[in-house]
Amino acid sequence: MTSDDDPFHDCELDPEAILGTHTFEDVLFTDETETSVNVLTGETPAHSQATVEEAKEFAASIDTETPQIALPASVESQVETQSKPYTAAAFFHFKATGSLERHRAYHAAYEADAFAVDFAADYASGDLTIAVERADES
* pLDDT per position as a tens digit, 51-82: 999 999 999 999 999 999 999 998 888 888 88
pTM of the model: 0.88
CB within 8 Å of 23: residues ≥ 6 apart? 127, 128, 129
pLDDT of 138 strictly over 60: no
Would you kindly state where each structural domain of the chain is located, as residue ranges? 15-137
pLDDT of 3 strictly over 60: no
Q: pLDDT for 109-133, tens place per residue?
A: 999 999 999 999 999 999 999 999 9
For every residue of 37-80, DSSP letters joined together read --TTT----GGG---HHHHHHHHHHS-SSS-EEEEEPPHHHHHH
Q: pLDDT for 25-59, tens place per residue?
A: 999 999 998 887 888 888 888 878 889 999 999 99
